[in-house]
Chains A and B, each alone.
Chain A
């Protein structure tokens, strides 16, 4: 069947069961948006205030639903505005297909209006970047792009269409093939054959070796990394942890991979890791990390990291093995498959003595009374009031660490946070994407005053689409995390971190047609949050905090993991 190229693009989206795309139109992508107009009953387009917001929204949609997110933008500045969003998705292995259009073939490389080599720019931050110069190749490339984004270690893919490829006179051969079948199609097949695409099994001997190592270990520690979340292996991981009877430390990206309230959880590990996690890491004799790359925020000092332990890495990406920390053993495969194989053979262990040593170090989880509002109080109010399964999107900084510490996440996709790239301004976009993808769930956006200011223009998107997202702003009038470093390491020289400026976030919320509240005590927070939950629209709660609140505990970058610069707050 001959159809127009833009129609083929839309049909290819439908093949992949895409029903929501995020984006922002512009000159070169007009043809695509014109076609989208004809498909608007089948593909919902979410218009954001800025391309970066659209990129984060597609990312948040992907993380919270497990489907591939889709984001549209025009050439030049539209495309470059995506880049922070693309990099955020790349560092956190989130499957998103970014679709941009470029100038026509006749103008390519001539520095035409709004022209930029986005496939070149995106090269280091995508799994693959395609420049489409031939309309006939559209179905193959679209199918490949989605396959690549979702397969193996997931990640972003960019497709850049030249404008002439999308023009009305481009008719191509096209046949609708649902994605489960189209992964056998010409383009995909070519991709497949070159990589001998199959469903490889984790190496059985590698699994045996780990079982042997486990049988010899006395003080095992598990790390739940982002791979457990992205691989949706939470059930298998939980079974593994319970059979092993080992403490479980959770990384920032691993939030949701293992229940935060489980009796084996020791909490976060690394720079702001709990004392229990970090001491366990230093003292364990077998460390099994699942889907964790030992980033510099976890393995602060690779040389002394888990130095008494044999280190075992389970990862889908072979390039992560020995990248940051040299290991003793590794198993390559998806977390789910490897853990299933391990669980089949793993007997029930008992490490009561080791647990009795580590688990009591956990900090109390009840917020202390205080006349002025504390971060833990805010999060406790949220935790107690929200329905079960509420999705939390955070920005980056102190509020992010507090959220992960004091809120408990129970399933993959419940916590949306920019752990790898640390993108300020990620949260609101991600919350919008998550709410679009999960209309039945509550979505809370936890942010700081610095982060919120970066992308708060997306409140217009919240209002326009009637999304009941609550933005809880941890407003301490400073770039809290940077100030914390200045406080502890830079001799209290608070260089350019004080944010003593507007806007008034309550008035801002109202200006966007949303509800705004300002709170200074726990009681006010309880009242405002309850109102926000029932108000039916989006809301902003401006929580006034002390400027010198710090994230505890803290280990300085590059130091051994138990050299606490700040201890856990006293019991």
Chain B
């Protein structure tokens, strides 16, 4: 039977383990622009294994596109493993810093109250502004930003989304697919 691919567009997170070598991030990112897709967010950070970096990329796409980008990605020499995660299979979080205008005491108090509801923290304060720190899902930080927009938002900095699979399985797990890609990369 030929494969059936989901044509519905949704938010996918692509988790990629790569060798920490110069240019590897642009090598990976290029695959998205090649297909004409805009990356929603991209995060790169260390892992439990030395010399290995984990890149998390968030993108809105359909299954065919995400599968193809993942395939091209797995083919790159510095890429060790690729996992496609969607909402149902993973936990996604991001951190946002929000600098909001608070010209008077009343405004400051109200901002602090709102931030408490969202379990956000005040990390900096000045006479006419507050800077908050919020950790959670993207919808949570968006909701907070929406509430604060009445006061006037001065600046936002976000980390972008990181994701990890639910349950015991990890990105390191071997599979037939992984073996198949290794065949093409390195048969000497």
Residues of A within 8 A of B (CB): 119-120, 123-124, 127-129, 131, 147-148, 150-153, 183, 191-192, 194-197, 199-200, 203, 311, 315-319, 321-323, 326-328, 332-334
Contact = CB atoms under 8 A, between A and B. Distances in A.
Interface residues of B, number: 31
B157 interface: no
A319 B187 contact: no
Q: Could you say which of B80, B177, B183, B186 has the most chain A C-beta atoms within 10 Å of its C-beta?
A: B183
B187 A123 contact: no
Most buried by A among B30, B75, B176, B184: B184
A333 B185 CA distance: 11
B49 to A, nearest CB: 10
Count chain A CB atoms within 10 A of each CB in B3, B72, B186 and give the residue with the most.
B186
Given A152-B186, A195-B186, A316-B183, A123 B30 contact: yes
Tell me which of B23, B30, B179, B187 has the highest count of chain A C-beta atoms within 10 A of its own C-beta. B187
Given A127-B77, A151-B185, A153-B184, 4 more contacts: A152-B184, A192-B186, A194-B19, A195-B185
Given A124-B34, A332-B184, A319 B2 contact: no
26 contacts: A124-B30, A128-B77, A131-B22, A147-B188, A148-B77, A152-B183, A152-B185, A152-B186, A152-B187, A191-B77, A194-B19, A195-B77, A195-B80, A195-B186, A197-B182, A200-B187, A316-B184, A317-B184, A318-B75, A318-B180, A318-B183, A319-B181, A319-B184, A328-B2, A332-B180, A333-B183
Interface string B6-33: 0000000000000100110011001000
Contacts of B27: 123
A129 B179 CA distance: 24
Contacts of A148: 77, 186
Interface of B: 1-3, 5, 19, 22-23, 26-27, 30, 34, 67-68, 71-72, 74-75, 77, 80, 176-177, 179-188
A239 to B, nearest CB: 22
A199 B75 CA distance: 17
A321 B179 CA distance: 14
A508 B167 CA distance: 72
A530 B30 CA distance: 52
Given A127-B77, A318-B180, A326-B3, A120 B23 contact: yes
Contact of A203 (B2, B34, B176, B184): B176
B18 to A, nearest CB: 10
Contacts of A326: 2-3, 5
- Determine which residue in B1, B23, B176, B177 has the highest number of CB atoms from chain A within 10 A of its CB, and name it: B23
Nearest to B3: A326
B26 to A, nearest CB: 7
Overall SS of chain B's interface: helix
A194 B71 CA distance: 18
A49 B75 CA distance: 35
A385 to B, nearest CB: 40
A196 B181 CA distance: 11
Given A317-B75, A319-B74, A322-B3, A200 B188 contact: no
B81 to A, nearest CB: 11
Given A148-B77, A151-B188, A319-B75, A332 B68 contact: no
Contact of B187 (A120, A124, A322, A334): A334
Nearest to B77: A128
A468 B36 CA distance: 47
Contacts of B184: 152-153, 315-319, 332
Nearest to B181: A318
A150 B188 CA distance: 8
Contacts of B179: 200
Given A319-B74, A328-B1, A123 B188 contact: no
A318 B71 contact: yes
A148 B5 CA distance: 33
Contact of A197 (B22, B180, B181, B186): B186
Contacts of B30: 123-124
Contacts of B75: 317-319
A118 to B, nearest CB: 12
B84 to A, nearest CB: 14
A98 B13 CA distance: 36
B72 A183 contact: no
A200 B74 contact: no
A147 B184 CA distance: 13
Contact of A200 (B22, B67, B182): B182
A323 B71 contact: yes
Contacts of B68: 323
Max chain A C-beta neighbours (<10 A), residue from B3, B185, B188: B188
A123 B78 CA distance: 13
Contacts of A316: 183-184, 187
A449 B71 CA distance: 40
A148 B19 CA distance: 16
Given A123-B26, A148-B77, A328-B1, A319 B183 contact: no
A196 B182 contact: yes
Contacts of A123: 23, 26-27, 30
B9 to A, nearest CB: 19
A147 B77 CA distance: 12
A305 to B, nearest CB: 11
Contact of A191 (B3, B186, B187): B186
A336 to B, nearest CB: 11
A334 B185 CA distance: 11
Contacts of A332: 180, 183-184
Interface centre among B1, B22, B71, B176 (most CB of A within 10 A): B71
Given A127-B77, A200-B179, A319 B71 contact: yes
Contacts of A323: 68, 71
Given A147-B188, A151-B187, A153-B184, A322 B67 contact: yes
Q: What are the 10 closest A-B residue pairs judged by CB atoms, nearest first?
A: A319-B71, A317-B184, A332-B180, A318-B180, A319-B75, A152-B184, A326-B2, A318-B181, A197-B186, A195-B186
A194 B81 CA distance: 11
A4 B183 CA distance: 36
